[in-house]
A and B are shown apart, each in its own frame.
Chain A
């Protein structure tokens, strides 16, 4: 069964600094990988997804993630943090697209300090 591990339940960065949120997955077959963002009292919004095309995936709001099969990782990065990036971020994995539900990590709360 697939699983996701997000390293760090809380990450704090200064405004303008690099954002790096870590995600490692476990899957017996080539995975589909996703990053979602959740703002307070809202649902989850898709940031980006990896579906076996390009290994470097660009998403909304300047975020990107790189799929590294050898490291079973799909870390999320943004070159320069903005105050509006403060939110909770979830990494998720699916084995077979649409046929198996997404399995989520426990989330990483990002704080941005002015």
Chain B
């Protein structure tokens, strides 16, 4: 299994509070991603990173920010949590490149409930 650790695995928080989710990898992969999974929507990209301090927005980035100060860590922050951000959040990594090693490897997910 790819070395990806998400923390926390479960969190309940109150509306309006800031929340930070952490993704840590031991594979030294260049690319890291945050997706959210909701019933009927599949997985939707929030933000991704293509290197240290290099990030870009995904399809559903409003209300989220990210930071990547080290290759191995990618943080997702909800500045002020809302009930619509209740979801399961997945971190993924990929090596990138043109040699076929393009698949993404996923963490176990973080279940976030905003009450």
Contacts and interface: CB of A to CB of B under 8 A. Distances in A.
Interface of A: 6, 9, 32, 34, 36, 41-46, 49, 51, 53, 90, 94, 97-99, 101-107
A99 B109 CA distance: 23
A22 B104 CA distance: 21
B33 A101 contact: yes
Interface residues of B, number: 30
A98 B41 contact: no
Contact of B42 (A90, A98, A99): A90
6 contacts: A44-B92, A90-B43, A97-B97, A98-B31, A98-B101, A105-B42
Contacts of A42: 108-109
Contact of A99 (B58, B96, B104): B96
A82 to B, nearest CB: 22
